[in-house]
Amino acid sequence: MDSLEQLACWAFNCDRAQLYTGDYEADEENIKLFHEALDSYTRGIPVQYITGEAEFMGFDFDVNPSVLIPRPETEILVERSLALIEREGMTEPFILDLGTGSGAIAVSLTKLSPSCKIIASDVSEEALEVGRENAAANGVSDRIQFILSDFFERIPEKEKFDLVISNPPYIPSEDYDSLPLEVRSEPRIALDGGLKGLGFYGKIISESAKRLKDGGYLILEIGYGQTAAIKSLIESAGSYRDVKIIKDYNDIDRVVFAKRH
């Protein structure tokens, strides 16, 4: 479904089939809503912010301009994490989701791995509120603890995790102004990864080594062309082995796994 179809279905409260068969009611309010949505869309506002919702891993999530819109490529991170949990026989995996935003990763993992428990952190209280709402709407609030924290800053030091997962900001600062207007409508704090997009990885990699259980895994989403630099950071940390790179649907390196030894 393209963007205009999504807006029309949302404004007229119908599905795609109804839209094309005319099997829906369009009163003055619906028409006004559709025109307002079109106006917002032409000004570069993402469809998901207009409708207030996004789909991820088959689940519905509320989104607003305080959170990054979940991307299909991030589903790879979730899918491979679930496969890892099963392969390693983790019966009650304890997971840290750094920079949770809308909670899409944490909520999806908790829905699809019913025995896991998660701490989900974010530096933005507004983002955490969205995450909490999504956890409640999906019935998993009892298994996700949301913490206001700048990465590891307020994560209790006593906690040791089976998995540390993060989709940090990784757009290079030098590329930010050339991004499409629609993308720049999302929170810059969730996109801008500093010089070469690598600004957050060193800290995540080094700090995760202290917070992972022996044999636990660090799982990171990465940007285009960052593989060699991030592998070098992992190797320099001296705490990991079995580094694996997973490609996305466009054959681009997208997810890095590293095992704590």
**CA trace torsion 105, 106, 107, 111 (10° rounding):** 100
DSSP 211: H
Computed on alpha carbons and rounded to an integer, the radius of gyration of the chain in Å comes to 19
Across the chain, the runs of DSSP E, i.e. the strands, are 53-56, 59-62, 94-98, 117-122, 144-148, 161-166, 212-221, 240-247, 253-260
Q: Are 34 and 48 in contact (CB under 8 A)?
A: no
* DSSP states of 16-35: HHHHHHT-S---HHHHHHHH
At residue 238, the 3 state secondary structure works out as coil
Distance between CA atoms of residues 162 and 180, nearest Å? 37
Structure tokens at 134: 């999504």
Rounded CA-CA distance 169/120 in Å is 16
* Average pLDDT value over all residues in the chain: 96
> At how many degrees (to 10) do helices 201-211 and 227-237 cross?
40
| Residue in 174, 213, 173, 218 with CA at minimum distance from that of residue 191 | 173
Instruction: Give me the residue label for tokens 């917002």.
Output: 40
CATH tag for 65-260 (out of 3.20.20.70, 3.40.50.150, 3.40.640.10, 3.30.70.20) = 3.40.50.150
Quick one: tokens of 132?
């909490």
- pLDDT at residue 2, rounded to an integer: 86
**pLDDT per position as a tens digit, 15-40:** 999 999 999 988 999 999 999 999 99
Percent of the chain residues topping a pLDDT of 90: 97
State the CB neighbour count (10 A cutoff) for residue 71.
16
Report if pTM > 0.85: yes
Question: What pLDDT, in 10s, does the model give residues 46-95?
Answer: 999 999 999 999 999 999 999 999 999 999 999 999 999 999 999 999 99
Instruction: Enumerate the CATH 3.40.50.150 domain ranges in the chain, comma separated.
Output: 65-260
Quote the CA–CA distance of 96 and 207 in Å, as a whole number.
Answer: 12
- Helix (H) / strand (E) element for 83: namely helix 74-87
Q: Which residue reads 């207030």 in tokens?
A: 52
Q: Encoding tokens for residue 122?
A: 């974010």
Helix (H, G, I), strand (E, B) or coil at 96: strand
Q: Mean per-residue pLDDT for 99-116?
A: 97
Percent of the chain whose predicted confidence (pLDDT) is above 70: 100
Q: What is the pLDDT of residue 25?
A: 85
- The string of pLDDT tens digits covering residues 170-204 is 999 999 999 999 999 999 999 999 999 999 999 99
